Structure 1
Amino acid sequence: MAYFTAVLAPEGSGDDRDWRSVDIDLEAGSPDELGDALRGAVDDDRPVLAVLEREDEWFALVRTEGALEVRVFVSDAVAATESAYAPLFAELPAATGQPVPTPEDSDAADAADDDADGQDDTGDAAGDTGSRGGSGVAEDVWAGDPDLLTDLGCSADVLVRLATSSTDPAEATVRVGELLGCADLLESLR
């Protein structure tokens, strides 16, 4: 599966805000490493926004602004921990405030459940697992800071709703782009 990445920086403010793309290769690394790269791509304290998508799986938004800490939001932290960008999501708190479970954690929990009852807990008779892939992970597997775009026009509620209800990461990031006023630019970069 392919990745899509884009780095955007706003110029102006409010209704007069325009966005421009920033030419930078997004390397996998910790939030601080990515933040340093994003800050180095602009020459002032403007916000810089990185958009990452893993085709058909998840989207992530990374924001930094001047010396402020890097803020990250990912729609599916469990799937993202298996990606090339896993270091970026390793320390994020999950939607429940608990650490993000890694795929290994889920496998270990499944194995412990199997050992405890001698069965493979894959769901009820109707085939409903109640989780993604039967791994025992709740449907709300987003992680990070859902408020990272509130001041730019995308509320936390909207971001969480897109993360939990959209099956197409590209569709979700386009919707975010519409709210921020950069959808056309984002689409032109695809």
Structure 2
Amino acid sequence: MYFAALLARTEDGWEASDTELDDVETLSDLTELAREATAEDETVLVFIEQEDSWFALVRIDGEEDPRIYVSDAAAAARSSYGEIILTDELLGRDPGSLDDELEELTDLDGTEDGEPDPPSGFTEEDEEESGPTAEPVPVGPIGDLQILSDLGMSQRELLALDSDVLAEIADALGASEVLETVR
């Protein structure tokens, strides 16, 4: 089960809204959704949480690139919402590196150079399961550890979170009441 919310900082304090991520397919879509949450170029935080498995914070400050923190990249990688925020840049990968490797290995007819004929009874499903794998995703936190430091939560406090993390973050930001209204 997922929970997602937007917290937008305004002149009057924080405003919260729950959000549906069903139409969000990329980090750009998520960034655009967050920027629409405020009329000004104010700070917007996107909270995404999957039960107690992992959580993510995406911070958008005006037109700047989003800043991202993920509590457990490996757990998030197994989630459709995690796939949105775990960009190649965040993971330290060259964009499309696996695709490039596959393209170099594959001839125009779709077979690999020097590839033996598949054993009898070998299906396309078997091939997909035994195909190349992506680079491993690190276990544990990844991203901007200072994402909330200017808002009242240090790196050490962020890394120490382990349960009811969104409530603790909202409390540190002075936004717990507004977050509770959308939970």
Which of the five TM-score ranges fits, normalised by the shorter chain? Answer: 0.5 to 0.7
- Any stretches of 5+ residues in structure 2 without a counterpart? 94-135
1:90 and 2:83 aligned: no
Aligned to 1:125: none
Residues in 1 aligned to 2:49 and 2:89: alpha-carbon distance in whole angstroms: 17
Aligned to 1:149: 148
1:185 and 2:182 aligned: no
Residues in 1 aligned to 2:90 and 2:34: alpha-carbon distance in whole angstroms: 22
Aligned to 1:21: 16
Asked if 1 retains the 8 angstrom alpha-carbon contact of 2:6 and 2:46, the reply is: yes
Residue 186 of structure 1 and its aligned partner are, at CA, apart by 1.5
Residue 187 of structure 1 and its aligned partner are, at CA, apart by 2.2
Aligned to 1:161: 160
Letter in 2 for 1:44: E
Aligned to 1:47: 43
Q: Which residue, out of 63, 66, 72, partners 1:70?
A: 66
Residues in 2 aligned to 1:22 and 1:10: alpha-carbon distance in whole angstroms: 12
TM-score (norm 2): 0.67
SS at 1:187 equivalent: helix
Residues in 1 aligned to 2:10 and 2:28: alpha-carbon distance in whole angstroms: 24
TM-score (norm 1): 0.65
Asked if 1 retains the 8 angstrom alpha-carbon contact of 2:58 and 2:66, the reply is: yes
Residues in 2 aligned to 1:76 and 1:23: alpha-carbon distance in whole angstroms: 22
CA RMSD of aligned residues (A): 2.2
* Identity of matched residues, %: 35
Residues in 1 aligned to 2:159 and 2:25: alpha-carbon distance in whole angstroms: 24
- Report which of the two structures shows the higher radius of gyration computed on alpha carbons: 2
The count of residues paired between Structure 1 and Structure 2 equals 139
SS at 1:5 equivalent: strand
Letter in 2 for 1:177: A
Residue 24 of structure 1 and its aligned partner are, at CA, apart by 4.2
Residues in 2 aligned to 1:138 and 1:25: alpha-carbon distance in whole angstroms: 27
SS at 1:49 equivalent: strand
Letter in 1 for 2:36: G
